[in-house]
Every structure is written in C-alpha cells, then in structure tokens.
A and B are shown apart, each in its own frame.
Chain A
Amino acid sequence: MPVAYIPRTRELYSDFTPYRWVVNTTVPWTPLRKPIAQSKIALMSSGGIMYRDQPRFHREDASYRRIPKDAAREDLSVWHFGYPTADAEKDPNCVFPLERMRELEAEHVIGELSDPAFSFMGGVYSARKIRDELAPQIVDELKRAHVDAFYLVPA
C-alpha cells in the first residue's frame, strides 16, 4: 500500500503550523520531441548530493550543486534533513542514479547524459523559495545545455 504522506506529514510536524500543500489544477505539458535514445537528458536529485568540497545544505536552503557527469562515487557526499541518508551515503545511486545514467548512455538507451547533473536538498518548507529561487536557475541551466528532457529523482 502506498504510504499516505500528506496525513503523515500533518502528524509528524504537528507542532508546527500546518503545511500548505501545493495544489495545482492544471498540468503544464511539453511533448517529447525525440525518442529518449536520441535525447540529451539532464538528471536532478533532491537527495542533497554534494561533489568534493561543495558546501553542505543548510535549513531552508534552495541552492543547488552542479555535479560533473563523470564524478566518481567517492567524490559524492550527502546532506539532507528529511530522510535517513545512511543508504545514500553508502551508494548515492539510491537517490542520484548518476552511474546508472552513464551506463544507459554508453548503451545508447539514452542519447546523451547532460553535463553537469544537479542536486539540491528537497527538505525545504517554502514552496515559494523552490519556485522563485531554485526553479528559474535550473531552467536557465537546462536551456543553456540545450537538453531535450529533464529527469527528476526525489529522495
């Protein structure tokens, strides 16, 4: 049975002002123009991944980290307030499947993995910060890289 996260969040954070869930009534939509085998795909994880000496995330931090697509696993670390990170610290591919994407690129399942990949710390209370601060910067990154599709993995 899928976990009902909305009531559980209400319960887990019952000492705080109730979270105002984002409810969208419409769905934005851009059709895929090419098969994924010919598409340049960007990867982003909200799992709080950092590369080498990049700083960790603080509370309500809507910044993001650029992770080189050829980053070695030993050069990645994890910092997040909202989920148990032990397994992601052992293997970041649990929440940031960079190595798997590289393999799929090598096997031509995807056309190209865009460089860099991105990560931020998804435990941000303010949806406004994500929408007004993080999202526009990511849109710029994706446009500059001329990506065909954007693949998001939460934690």
Chain B
Amino acid sequence: MVEEAGIPTLCMTSALDITQSVKAPRAVFVNFPLGHQTGRPNDPAIQRQIVRDALRAFETIGTPGEIVQLPYVWDPNDRTWETRDYTKGWMPERPSREAADLAEAERAARYAK
C-alpha cells in the first residue's frame, strides 16, 4: 500500500520463507534470532553496519521482490539457536498483567508533569 502511494519501501527480515511468500518489494535478510534484526544490544558498530548495508539495498535492488542476503553470522561457534528458536517452550514467560500494569503506571507517573 505504501508503494502504491508512490513511496519506495525496504523491509528487513530474519524470516526468509515468510518474506518470499509475501513478496516485499525490497527486502534485506539477516540471519539473526528474532528481536535482533539490526544487531546485538549495545554493539553500535555492528548495528550501524547492518543498517547501512540495508539502506544501500534501496539503491542496489532493481527487481521487484528481490531479497538481498547479508553475510552476518550471529555466532560462528554456536548455531543451536537456529534449531531452538520459535519452537515450543522457546518464548520466555510474559510478565503478568499486574506487573505490566504496574510498569505502565510507573512510566505514566515518571512523565506526568
């Protein structure tokens, strides 16, 4: 819909099969675990490199539906996340509703002026 409104889009992905199925106009694949699409926490150098590489694909992708695969490796010594992630028991327990309400009330109080 955004493309139809005349705005070029680029979508990053860590789920190659889903992106192939939905056919994003331009996509950039990084094989990192969910929640880390632009890199590890507190590692601005790698985050920056990934974002830069991704944005470059705006200019290099010339075919609708093309997916650029960036060569970043999450952990060359441990690929077990690839078999473990997104399987039953993988997702940590979510905070309770009470805990979430409390956190939200604290945020509201902190910014109330």
Q: Are B37 and A30 in contact (CB under 8 A)?
A: no
In this complex, the interface size class of chain B, counting residues with CB under 8 Å from chain A, is 35 or more
Q: Beyond A93-B38, A94-B37, is A154–B13 a contact (Cβ under 8 Å)?
A: yes
In the complex formed, the residue of B with least CB distance to A56 is B104
When A and B form their complex, which 3 residue pairs have the shortest distance between CB atoms, in order from nearest? A91-B41, A28-B3, A27-B64
Q: Are A8 and B87 in contact (CB under 8 A)?
A: yes
Min distance, Cβ A71 to any Cβ of chain B, angstroms: 12
List of B residues within 8 angstroms of A90 by Cβ = 41-42
A87 at the interface (CB under 8 A from B): yes
List of B residues within 8 angstroms of A47 by Cβ = 35, 37
Q: Are B51 and A104 in contact (CB under 8 A)?
A: yes
Q: What is A's interface to B at a CB cutoff of 8 Å?
A: 1-6, 8-9, 11-12, 21-33, 35-36, 39, 41, 47, 50, 52-53, 55-56, 77, 79, 81-88, 90-91, 93-95, 97, 99-101, 103-104, 109-110, 131, 135-136, 138-139, 142-143, 147-155
Min distance, Cβ A137 to any Cβ of chain B, angstroms: 11
Option from A22, A85, A109 in Cβ contact (under 8 Å) with B52: A109
List of B residues within 8 angstroms of A149 by Cβ = 7-10, 58
Cα A83 to Cα B32 in complex, Å, equals: 13
Q: List 11 A-B contacts (CB under 8 A).
A: A24-B23, A30-B4, A53-B108, A56-B100, A93-B38, A110-B55, A139-B7, A149-B8, A150-B8, A151-B10, A152-B12
Option from B3, B10, B18, B87 in Cβ contact (under 8 Å) with A6: B18
List of B residues within 8 angstroms of A11 by Cβ = 87-88
Q: Are B21 and A30 in contact (CB under 8 A)?
A: no
Cα A99 to Cα B42 in complex, Å, equals: 11
List of B residues within 8 angstroms of A101 by Cβ = 51
